[in-house]
Amino acid sequence: MTSRGESQTAIATTPTTPTSSTAAAAAAAARLAERLHEEPRDHLGGPPVEVVRHPPEATRLERREAFREVYGPIVAAIGEPTLYGGSAWGPSVRWRDEDRLVLLSGDRFRVTLSVHRPEELERGEHRCFTWGGAWSADEPHDFDLLPYSWQLYRGGPGEWPGERPDHRLAGDWQQLESALELLLAAWAEQLPVQVPGDWAGFTVVADRDPGRDLVVSYSPGEGLGVAVDDRDTEQGLERDRLMRACGWQGHDRGWWHSAFPEAAESSPAAAARLAVTELRTRGAVGPQELSAREVGVDDRGELWLPGLGIRTY
């Protein structure tokens, strides 16, 4: 067995150079993941190792496809992850048991692999959730700084954390719109790679208008969607004109709906703006009067949304 210092040096030389092919980079990332997964004690505490570098001008979809190239070979080498997920900056995928947590993490600039003692990494993340955030509506939010804004557990392999920190809650409508935009951007970039072909969504309910559900979703091939139940309102030319002026695109069986293509960088902001504008028209004082229900990804597993900005049930 090599010493810790020797193994760190060996790992540091694993990432590919700019002249390496995509296939070689993916193979190198898979070998590194396998080493971290099978021999974690040799590498615990080491710095994250870059396996992908994004150019500064890379779009969300370009980052997504670059991540896809390494993700597939890594899963082939060490199996499906314990926890799918991601932050506002990039993916955060975890292979976890009581002895080690292999983390495949990305941001706007790169994707890295690292291995950690689970309790140490999660303790620090829990502190971020507990002590961060805006203490009033006048302070800036930190939804973009959360360790992860969504996580999906589908029964292993490995062991899920068991205890999860509290949700980060939005202090006002502007913070909620920002949180929702960040989450939807993360979904558009991360879901198609981690759970290809699956849809994701949730229903938002306002305390003062509990029968008028608003659904926010991601669907493969369709992109981001927002729909609102309008069956209790008489439809007609005037209603049609009003709803379309608000940004709704179509009406079907009592529901108004709009779709935003995942390839457009502006889609998350547009979808978030439409959803929050509709919620505000119901007379709610603020996001504290909202809750999210029917949260899921293809009705499989447990989806958790600590970065949504409202409570989920």
For 39-92, the pLDDT digits (tens) are 999 899 899 999 999 999 999 999 999 999 999 999 999 999 999 999 999 999
Domain check: are 177 and 257 in the same one? Answer: yes
**Would you say residue 93 lies in a domain?**
yes
Q: Is the dihedral of CA 26, 30, 35, 37 positive or negative?
A: positive
Has residue 17 got a pLDDT over 50? no
Tens digits of per-residue pLDDT, 252-272?
999 999 999 999 999 999 999
Query: Which one-letter amino acid corresponds to residue 234?
Result: E
Among candidate residues 146, 181, 216, the one where a domain is terminated: 146
Domain check: are 172 and 134 in the same one? Answer: no
How many whole angstroms from its chain centre is CA 108?
A: 14
Residues in CB range of 138: below 8 A, 6 or more apart: none
The tally of domains found in the chain comes to 2
pTM over 0.75: yes
Structure tokens at 312: 């989920």
Identify the residue whose tokens are 């597993």. Answer: 301
Distance CA 79, CA 75 (A): 5
Distance CA 10, CA 237 (A): 69
Q: Is the dihedral of CA 81, 84, 86, 90 positive or negative?
A: positive
Distance CA 41, CA 87 (A): 27
Distance CA 32, CA 62 (A): 23
User: In angstroms, what CA-CA distances link 128 with 72, 132, 146, 147, 200?
Assistant: 30, 5, 7, 8, 26
pLDDT tier at 9 (50, 70, 90 boundaries)?
A: very low
The mean per-residue pLDDT over the stretch 231-236 comes to 91
Domain check: are 19 and 138 in the same one? Answer: yes
